[in-house]
Structure 1
Amino acid sequence: MYAQERQQRIVERARVEGRADVAELAAEFDVTTETVRRDLTVLERHGLLRRVHGGAIPVERLGFEPGLADRDAVMTAEKERIAKAALAEVPREGAILLDAGTTTARLAEILPNDRELTVVTNAVPLVASLAVRPQITVLLLGGKVRGRTMAAVEDWTLRALADTFVDVAFLGANGLSVERGLTTPDTGEASVKRAMIHAARRVVVLADHTKAGNDCLARFGELAEVDCLITDSGLDAELAERIASAGPKVVRA
């Protein structure tokens, strides 16, 4: 098993069980405890876990949210596959909404050049690359910009969304589960995501499989409000069926 593969499994274990124990992980993966500790150090550096005595806990349990650069550096291949699959949900023309996030950013990068689209977004980093493309009209939602995610939030953003209606909203999520629905660590971003759901004819959530079964602080929607969840092939087939039974079509890219 490659180190990256092992580290991914460690994060999944920590999110499901609330903790990752060094000794148990070493026995499961048949590696030394020192190897596991190095893995935990790497994962902590990426903002995915926090080291504690004897192991690590997921940052979500601490109310901590990894920064944009940290999140952009993990699950890159999966996010690219998700973005490519999401192209099937982009209309030939009309208006779409792009939520802030590293997976939605990858969709922004590959939007086709042969479609006349209006892109509404609260993601400040997306504006520069989209605005120079002649076939795309960009509407940036104003508001207070969170430094951690570079997303516009709070009252100005919500007021603009109240007067907005798009064909498709592409949203990210830090956590999703059948029991808790769609969640994120920040209450301000949760309010904006909730308003985005109400501003769209169809809702498509882009989230890699490590978000499944993970619950964060603030809920912003139910799975029944989602038309399509696009994730990666790492999502367990049984869990995919449970999610689909709650409402959305599930695509495993």
Structure 2
Amino acid sequence: MYGPERQQEILRLAREDGRVDVLSLAETFQVTAETVRRDLKVLDRAGLLRRVHGGAIPVGRLDFEPDLAEREATAADEKDAIARAALAELPAGGSVILDAGTTVARLAALFPLDVDPAAELTVVTHALPVAARLADHPGIALHLVGGRVRHRTRAAVDAWALRAYGEVAADVAFVATNGFSPDGGLTTPDLAEAAVKRATIAAARRVVLLADSGKFGQRHFARFGDLSDVDLLITDTGLSPEDAREIERRGPAVIRA
């Protein structure tokens, strides 16, 4: 069996079983443990597996992006906790950008209705699910950014969206990501989506990243920023204290909700 064939089979086993270990793989393929470690290193560099002690676990694929319904159902409790914690980061009045993402949409659903009219919040978003949740909110001046709408995320992308964000200077941007890590930065599968996310970061004075711990260590095709671009990461307790400290060494404060 050639190396690429073996690596494809290792990836299949990891996705089926949730993890693989070096010694079992060496026995299965009748190769040395060092050969297996090289295979895992190749898959890790491609962002398909994440190496852990003694083996590897699967992470997001470079060629796969789950649809909106699947993402809504993933880590639902963790996303709810993150959204509740993010409420404290809303400014009293002022302006915010809400990125496309299921956790950000949960935050939008929690916006309080009993808002002082003098503290009206201006919200800018390119995400249709977010806009739909806030369209009738009495305390919000909603601005919907246009562009080509991606079916998979219901988010506007391309030149119209980028031009609109180039004219915005918001107080806070609440940003979502498909993957984040100290070395890999912030990544998402689609280049057009990444460009808009990059624009939202540039359009705000403060950036709050909302990401559940399952996205830690994942790397996708399109990189749109570094952890140093983020002021605050709100995640869940699935992120270990050690990993949280490593992230904080890269710049952002971390809240584990």
TM category, shorter: 0.7 to 0.9
Q: Which residue of 2 aligns with 1:60?
A: 61
What is the CA distance between 1:125 and its match in structure 2? Answer: 1.6
What CA distance in whole angstroms lies between the structure 1 residues aligned with 2:19 and 2:215? 21
Deviations 1:35-86, CA, capped at 9 Å, x for gaps: xxxxxxxxxxxxxx9xxxxxx954524x110000000011000000000000
Q: How does 1:49-198 map to 2 (within 5 A)?
A: 58-61=59-62, 63-115=63-115, 116-198=120-202
What is the CA distance between 1:128 and its match in structure 2? Answer: 2.4
What is the CA distance between 1:179 and its match in structure 2? Answer: 0.4
What is the CA distance between 1:113 and its match in structure 2? Answer: 2.3
Q: Which residue of 2 aligns with 1:44?
A: none
Contact 2:188 2:194 in 1 (8 A): yes
Q: Please list every run of at least 4 consecutive aligned residues from structure 1 whose deviation after the TM superposition is greater than 4 angstroms.
A: 21-27, 56-59
3-state secondary structure, aligned to 1:132: coil
RMSD, aligned CA: 2.3
Contact 1:182 1:223 in 2 (8 A): yes
Q: Which residue of 1 aligns with 2:233?
A: 229
Contact 1:187 1:218 in 2 (8 A): yes
Q: Which residue of 1 aligns with 2:216?
A: 212
What CA distance in whole angstroms lies between the structure 2 residues aligned with 1:24 and 1:203? 33
What CA distance in whole angstroms lies between the structure 1 residues aligned with 2:153 and 2:74? 15
3-state secondary structure, aligned to 1:235: coil
Specify the structure having the higher radius of gyration (Cα): 2
What is the CA distance between 1:237 and its match in structure 2? Answer: 1.3
Q: Partner letter of residue 61 of structure 2?
A: E
Contact 1:175 1:215 in 2 (8 A): yes
Deviations 1:16-38, CA, capped at 9 Å, x for gaps: x96616568599xxxxxxxxxxx
What CA distance in whole angstroms lies between the structure 2 residues aligned with 1:108 and 1:205? 14
> Within the alignment, does 1:251 sit opposite 2:255 as a pair?
yes
Contact 1:154 1:188 in 2 (8 A): yes
3-state secondary structure, aligned to 1:60: coil
Q: Identify if the C-alpha distance between structure 1 residues 18 and 85 changes in structure 2 by more than 3 Å, giving closer, same or farther.
A: farther
What CA distance in whole angstroms lies between the structure 2 residues aligned with 1:206 and 1:24? 25
- In the alignment, structure 2 segments of 5+ residues that lack a partner are 1-9, 22-47, 49-56
What is the CA distance between 1:126 and its match in structure 2? Answer: 2.0
What is the CA distance between 1:112 and its match in structure 2? Answer: 1.8
What CA distance in whole angstroms lies between the structure 2 residues aligned with 1:169 and 1:18? 36
Contact 1:18 1:58 in 2 (8 A): no
TM-score where L is the length of structure 1: 0.78
Q: Partner letter of residue 110 of structure 1?
A: L
Q: Identify if the C-alpha distance between structure 1 residues 236 and 150 changes in structure 2 by more than 3 Å, giving closer, same or farther.
A: same
Q: Identify if the C-alpha distance between structure 1 residues 242 and 18 changes in structure 2 by more than 3 Å, giving closer, same or farther.
A: farther
Q: Which residue of 1 aligns with 2:245?
A: 241
3-state secondary structure, aligned to 2:80: helix
Q: Identify if the C-alpha distance between structure 1 residues 152 and 24 changes in structure 2 by more than 3 Å, giving closer, same or farther.
A: closer
- In the alignment, structure 1 segments of 5+ residues that lack a partner are 1-16, 28-48, 50-55
Q: Identify if the C-alpha distance between structure 1 residues 25 and 157 changes in structure 2 by more than 3 Å, giving closer, same or farther.
A: closer
What CA distance in whole angstroms lies between the structure 2 residues aligned with 1:24 and 1:72? 21
Report % sequence identity. Answer: 54
Q: Which residue of 2 aligns with 1:203?
A: 207
